[in-house]
Chains A and B, each alone.
Chain A
Amino acid sequence: MTVLLAGGAMTPFNRRKDGSSLRDWCRTAFARALSDAALEPQDIDTVVFASESDFFTLQLNPAAVITDALALTGVRTLRVEGGGASGHLAVQTGAALVLSGLARRVAVIGAEASAAHLDAGKVGKLYSLSFDAWTDGLTGVGATSIYALSVLDFMGRTGATTDDLAGIAARNRQNARHNPNAHLPLDITAADVAASPVVSSPYRRLDCSPLSDGAACVILARPEDLPRSGVGRVRIAGMGAASDRVRLGDRPAPGQFPAKTKAALQAYQAAGIGPEKIELAEVYDSYSGAQLQGLQALGLAEDVVASERAGRFTGEGGLPVNLSGGLLGQGAPVGATGVAQILVAAQQIEATFPGLRPASPPRRALVDTHGGIATTCAVMILESLA
């Protein structure tokens, strides 16, 4: 059975200063996604909502509230949460509901108010609870320090340097300059990254993805349940998901992401391909180094550091990565992040992405998302119908 990504849309990702609310963003994304899929609200029988924290949204049971705000009644509605992977896992859940026959047309909506509702310090404190709140959390450690310890191990094993990390941080912001929905379209260089303040060594402010507001929506269905039999749409060719030990100290190699590898292998197997067939990737770059760690775990380069230095992951390279800008550039409203990653990858395949695109549209694209520090991993492979 085939599940198609029948349409989708996202709001701009940024720090909202216009007084609009999370419900407004969801309505906007949903309406535009329906229009993109040439469907009407009554065609939707299931809503899967993704958000990470009720402390950000200040709304418990958000799926019911958002579904009601979309003027949908009598439909199946549920919420999916998996930390940073919430949005991606919501899309996988929606696809599973279609595959099972329980749903015909699913709207997956991800949203988060990570920036406008609370000050950055309090959001950071809440994010630190994404890890083991009892042991790591009680030390007062923040997400950036945990990622810093992980990338230090990775750098020690691979020879990656802070220059490599700064190059990624700058490139993704440059990629974002072409993306009208991006939070941080910055004209910066690696030197600017290296000159930004240290947050937690070796990470500097510009190595870190921003706290963003926004929403994204995709519509999933079988070809026979769509108005035009999926013409111009993208197929979900494979999905995978896997978990790792929560605490870095419980992992044999704290700089490696084995759960990501396992999730990717599941996705490759389901798609019937190997990583060499992937022509574009959206990789979870919550921090600059996490992009390299992710690419290694996904099997997308034999020597990820050498490939980075050779320009393989640029827009003109053999495997363009994060042409949207990734989390570093496009932004990261957590519940919406994975949904948007999947949306922009599908748009790349369709050659409709409104930002930087490769010379020719990819036939297959990989989307990689995780929660914690690659603790809850999700990988999806999208494929052209052409």
Chain B
Amino acid sequence: MNFHLSLDYRVPTGCLEPFFEGLRNGVALAERCEACGRVQFPPGGVCGTCGGASLGWVTLAGTGTVILRTDTPDRTFALVRFDGAANAALVEIANPAVQTGPGMLMPPPEGPPRLFFALTDPAETPHA
């Protein structure tokens, strides 16, 4: 027998709403632990170093560097360490033709807010 199920979720983002609002606009909003000073992006609601739950928001430059990268037939994902963050973020790469190196968070072209990262194209970097 066949059974069709179609689900449309509305998912509140709770305490991480400022993070998602930042992603919509390509802004890297990170958490800073008030107890130990750790800065984490993406945030998690709890400090990854001391477990502290008192966290404030800080805006990072949005720049970062690829640590690891994997390519599927149609998309590319990477672990990126954003400048100023102690942890790394799993992102989709916007321009996989550029192999690796530094880049910048950017607003996703469509769909829900997500970690979308454009690598710096050396061909477009002005030389000194």
- A residues at B contact (CB < 8 Å): 58, 134-136, 138-142, 144-146, 148-149, 152-153, 197-202, 245, 247-250, 254
Contacts and interface: CB of A to CB of B under 8 A. Distances in A.
Contacts of B120: none
B90 A149 contact: yes
B92 A249 contact: no
Interface string B10-29: 00010010000000000000
Contacts of A153: 68
A146 B90 contact: yes
A61 to B, nearest CB: 17
B38 to A, nearest CB: 11
Given A136-B90, A247-B90, A199 B72 contact: yes
A162 B20 CA distance: 37
> Could you say which of B69, B70, B91 has the most chain A C-beta atoms within 10 Å of its C-beta?
B70
A200 B112 contact: no
Nearest to B73: A198
Interface string B67-100: 0111111010111000000011111100000000
B25 to A, nearest CB: 15
B98 to A, nearest CB: 16
Contacts of A247: 42, 44, 87, 90
Nearest to A199: B72
Contacts, number: 79
Nearest to A137: B114
A138 B70 contact: no
Contacts of A248: 79, 88, 90
B53 to A, nearest CB: 16
A140 B109 CA distance: 14
Interface of B: 3, 5, 13, 16, 40, 42, 44, 48, 68-73, 75, 77-79, 87-92, 112-116
B77 A149 contact: yes
B79 A249 contact: yes
- Top 6 A-B pairs, shortest CB-CB distance: A249-B88, A148-B70, A138-B114, A139-B92, A135-B42, A136-B90
* Listed residue (A134, A197, A199) with the most chain B CB atoms within 10 angstroms of its CB: A134
B70 A200 contact: yes
A136 B90 CA distance: 6
6 contacts: A58-B5, A139-B91, A139-B114, A144-B72, A145-B77, A250-B40
Contacts of A149: 68-70, 77-79, 90
Nearest to A201: B71
Nearest to B14: A134
B90 A249 contact: yes
B90 A200 contact: no
A198 B13 CA distance: 35
Given A138-B114, A149-B68, A248-B90, 15 more contacts: A139-B77, A139-B116, A140-B114, A141-B92, A142-B72, A152-B68, A152-B69, A153-B68, A200-B70, A200-B71, A201-B72, A249-B87, A249-B89, A250-B48, A250-B88
Nearest to B88: A249
A6 B78 CA distance: 47
A51 B78 CA distance: 31
B119 to A, nearest CB: 15
Contacts of B71: 198, 200-201
A245 B48 contact: yes
A261 B89 CA distance: 24
Interface centre among A139, A145, A254 (most CB of B within 10 A): A139
B115 A254 contact: no
A58 B112 contact: no
Nearest to A131: B90
A197 B74 CA distance: 13
A27 B66 CA distance: 50
A146 B5 CA distance: 28
Given A134-B16, A248-B88, A249-B87, A139 B115 contact: yes
Contact of A200 (B5, B72, B88, B89): B72
A337 to B, nearest CB: 24
Contacts of A134: 13, 16
Interface centre among B77, B78, B90, B113 (most CB of A within 10 A): B90
Contacts of B89: 135, 249
A142 to B, nearest CB: 8
Contacts of A197: 73
A140 B42 CA distance: 16
A152 B70 contact: yes
Contacts of B42: 135, 247, 249
A202 B71 CA distance: 8
Contacts of B116: 139
Contacts of A135: 42, 89-90, 115
